[in-house]
Amino acid sequence: MNADGDPRSSLERVFREEAGRLTASLVRLLGDFDLAEEMVADAVAEALTRWPRDGVPERPAAWLLTTARRKAIDRLRRDERYSAKLALLASLPASAEREPDDRLRLMFTCCHPALDRDAQVALTLRAVVGLTTAEIARAFVIPETTLAKRLTRAKQKIVAARIPYRTPEPDELRGRLSEVLQVIYLVFNEGYLTTAGEQAARRELADDAEWLAGMLTRWLPDEPEPLGLLALIELHLARWPGRVDPEGRLVLLADQDRSAWDRGRVERGILSLRRAAALQRVGPYQIEAAIAAVHAEAPSWDETDWPQLLALYELLESVDPSPVVRLNRAIILARVAGPGPALAELDNIAAALDRYYLFHATRAAMLRQLGRSAEARHADQRALEGTTNTEERRLLEERLS
Amino acid sequence: MKFVLLLTRGEWQESGSPAEQGEVFGQISEWFGKLRADGTITEAYQLQPPGTATTVVLERGTSTLIDRPLLEAKEAIGGYAVIDVDDLDAALTIARSFPTPDGKIEVRPVVER
């Protein structure tokens, strides 16, 4: 039995680490996406009832595979249409040999262009990352039933239209690269700042994103944006030890103890960014990584190189003129040119970001600097209404009280 | 594995010059010839213009006729082909290679019994 305590948290950790890999291995071995996913889901359900009672087994991954296989055989025996699959199951090896790129291959299947963008992302988060449908639904702020339908339809299409599970050709890889990068970025963001629930952040998701990005850079060593994404993740993870306090509460960048930052990771991040830059094709992930590098290298909040940050945000806006990028640029503009011009810029994007809590939180900070405290309180109130992360609510409530 | 390609008529078929239409039809017929010869296309038909279509509507034991095709003019079906390939990627590659200046192609797997 496993020594380290609570079976439920062990299960969560094992599920995150193993379920996605097991799904990927089974899809490869069985050539059947739906069956593989159901097998893993059955095994996890069994683990949820047994492990809290009997403890976590010593080799959880092997236990999950054995259970998945037994459950699948029961399931297939009940349904004779699938009798051909029984032979396949019998031929499964006792432990699913891990091919290191199984999960990336599965990710490229999930991101097949014949699937809707929403379905691609949901499917990847479910099958590759191992998030539950409830967690994904929360992250997208949609009802769980809607998400479940979306997933079911996508899985049925993969099977019925025979979307192949294979390593894509290099030109197909490049064609799907932006989708795959975006999914990894989403996973990272969900780990870095969890959309809903008690935890402010989920380190295991952020680590997973780092692993996937690293794998992608080894697959496509001549593509700069995977390196940019990896650098971005490394540079943010380097700050992790300073951004969550011992009680698990978020600490703002300005208030963080920079001596706690992981200098080795900062250097790795900067090295990844240099390798990306050497390929001489700039893109949004590289620019975001460069922004993270400026923060990581600043000796203190006050000594941050704001003009360089502003230049980088302007560059980012030129390749990605989204309202969120403009919001971030306005925050830096406030440091360089004062809250007045920044507030004017915020007014330009107010309509697009009216439902985004960070927009209102930023606006509140600028109004407060300008001495317009009544308006600031109103904006903070709007921000509070818009966030579902308990930790962020706490930060905003502190400011309001 | 069999897929049906449903081919829409495309703008060129309505407004292209006779010379352009002739050239495109030549390329299309070459395309069909090649894919029939290597066994990829197992069956295919070009359809008469949408003006020749009649739509039969069945409703609780009664039927009515409508003197037009099922789909709107810009997505009227101009023909179909049944292809036999390994997977969706192969089917999509065939669909993409259809030599027409514009138009849409629905790629749908058939139920094989």
Domain assignment present for residue A64? The answer is: yes
In the structure encoding, which two tokens stand for residue A15, read together?
């599920």
Residues from chain A contacting residue B92 (CB–CB below 8 Å): 114
8 A C-beta contact, residue A86 and residue A76? yes
Residue at A51 is within a domain: yes
C-alpha torsion sign, points A104, A109, A111, A117:
negative
d(CA A2, CA B51): 74
Number of domains in chain A: 2
Report d(CA A230, CA A225) in Å as an integer: 8
Residues in chain B closer than 8 A to A114 (CB atoms): 88, 92
Nearest residue to A129 via CA among A152, A110, A116: A110
Instruction: Look up residue B48 and give its DSSP letter.
Output: P
A120 domain-assigned: no
Which of B5, B84, B85, B87 to probe the A interface (max A CBs under 10 A)?
Answer: B87
> Encoding tokens for residue A206?
């952020």
Of the candidates A51, A90, A101, A46, the one whose C-alpha atom is nearest the C-alpha of residue A68 is A46
Does A173 reside within a domain?
A: no
**Cβ contact B109–A163 (<8 Å):** no
Instruction: Spell out the per-residue pLDDT of chain A, length 401, in tens.
Output: 333 445 555 566 666 567 777 777 777 777 777 778 778 878 887 887 888 788 878 887 788 888 888 887 777 777 666 666 666 666 666 555 555 567 778 888 888 889 988 899 898 888 888 788 888 887 777 889 999 999 989 988 888 888 887 777 777 777 888 888 988 998 898 888 776 666 667 788 888 899 889 988 988 899 999 999 999 999 999 999 898 888 777 888 889 999 999 999 999 999 999 999 999 999 999 999 999 999 999 999 999 999 999 999 999 999 988 888 999 999 999 999 999 999 999 999 988 888 888 899 899 999 999 999 999 999 988 888 877 677 777 777 777 66
Q: Which site among A162, A166, A173 would you substitute to test the B interface, given the most B Cβ atoms closer than 10 Å to its Cβ?
A: A162
Q: How far is CA A6 from CA A9, A11, A51, A52, in A?
A: 6, 9, 10, 8
- Would you say residue A46 lies in a domain? yes
DSSP character for B50?
G
Do residue A164 and residue B109 have CB atoms under 8 angstroms apart? no
The answer to whether residue A186 sits within a structural domain is no
Mean predicted confidence (pLDDT) in B22-36: 93
Handedness of CA A300, A306, A311, A313 (dihedral sign): positive
Contacts of B89 in chain A (CB under 8 A): 163-164
Strand residue runs (E) in A238-385: none
Instruction: Read off the pLDDT of residues B58-112 as tens digits, 9 standing for 90 and up.
Output: 999 899 999 888 887 778 899 999 999 999 999 999 999 999 989 999 999 999 8
Q: Which of residues 48-87 of B touch A (CB under 8 A)?
A: 86-87
Shortest distance between the Cα of B55 and any Cα of chain A, in A, equals 28
Token pair 């780092």: residue:
A210
Residue from A248, A175, A235, A184 nearest A212 by CA? A184
What average pLDDT is seen over chain B? 91
A253 domain residue, yes or no: no
B3, B88, B108: residue with CB nearest A163: B88
Residues of B in contact with A161 (CB under 8 A): 3, 88, 107-109
- At residue A174, the 3 state secondary structure works out as helix
3.40.50.620, 3.30.70.260, 3.30.70.1060, 3.30.420.10: CATH of B2-109: 3.30.70.1060
- Measure A109 CA to nearest chain B CA, in Å: 11
pLDDT of res. A304: 94
Chain B partners of A160 at a C-beta cutoff of 8 Å? 109
SS3 B80: strand
Question: Could you tell me if A257 and A299 are in contact, meaning their C-beta atoms sit under 8 angstroms apart?
Answer: no
Could you tell me which of B103, B110, B95, B102 has the C-alpha nearest to residue B35? Answer: B95
A19 within some domain? yes
Helix ranges (H only) for A55-115 are: 60-78, 83-90, 102-110
* pLDDT at A92 (0 to 100): 62
CB-based contact B88 A160, cutoff 8 Å: no
Please report the pLDDT score of residue A334 as a whole number: 92
How far does Cα A319 stand from its chain's mean position? 22
Give pLDDT, residue A77.
74
Contact state of B87 with A162 under an 8 Å Cβ cutoff: yes
> Min CA distance, A112 vs chain B (Å)?
9
% residues pLDDT > 70 (chain B) = 100
Q: Which of B4, B5, B88, B107 to mutate to test the interface with A (most CBs of A within 10 A)?
A: B88
Chain B environment of A162 (Cβ under 8 Å): 1, 86-88, 109
pLDDT at A81 (0 to 100): 60
Phi-psi sector, A48: left (phi>0), alpha (psi -120 to 50), beta: alpha
Tokens standing for A367?
């109004």
Closest residue in A to B4 (Cα) is A161
Q: What is the ipTM of this complex?
A: 0.81
- Of A71, A99, A127, the one marking the end of a domain is A99
- Number of A:B CB contacts under 8 A? 21
pTM above 0.80, yes or no: no
Coil, strand or helix at B9: coil
* Contact: B109, A162; criterion CB under 8 Å: yes
Q: Which of A99, A117, A135 is the last residue of a domain?
A: A99
Q: Cβ(A380)–Cβ(A397) under 8 Å?
A: no
Cα-based distances in Å from A89 to A65, A72, A77, A133, A242: 11, 8, 12, 26, 48
How far does the CA of residue A159 sit from the closest CA of chain B (Å)? 10
Q: Say which amino acid occupies A239.
A: R
Which residue range forms the structural domain that includes residue A361? 326-401
Domain residue limits, chain B: 2-109
Q: Are A290 and A319 in contact (CB under 8 A)?
A: no
- The answer to whether the CB of A396 falls within 8 A of the CB of A382 is no
CA distance A235 to A260: 14
Task: For A251-321, list the strands marked E by DSSP.
Answer: none
Domain boundary among A99, A122, A149: A99
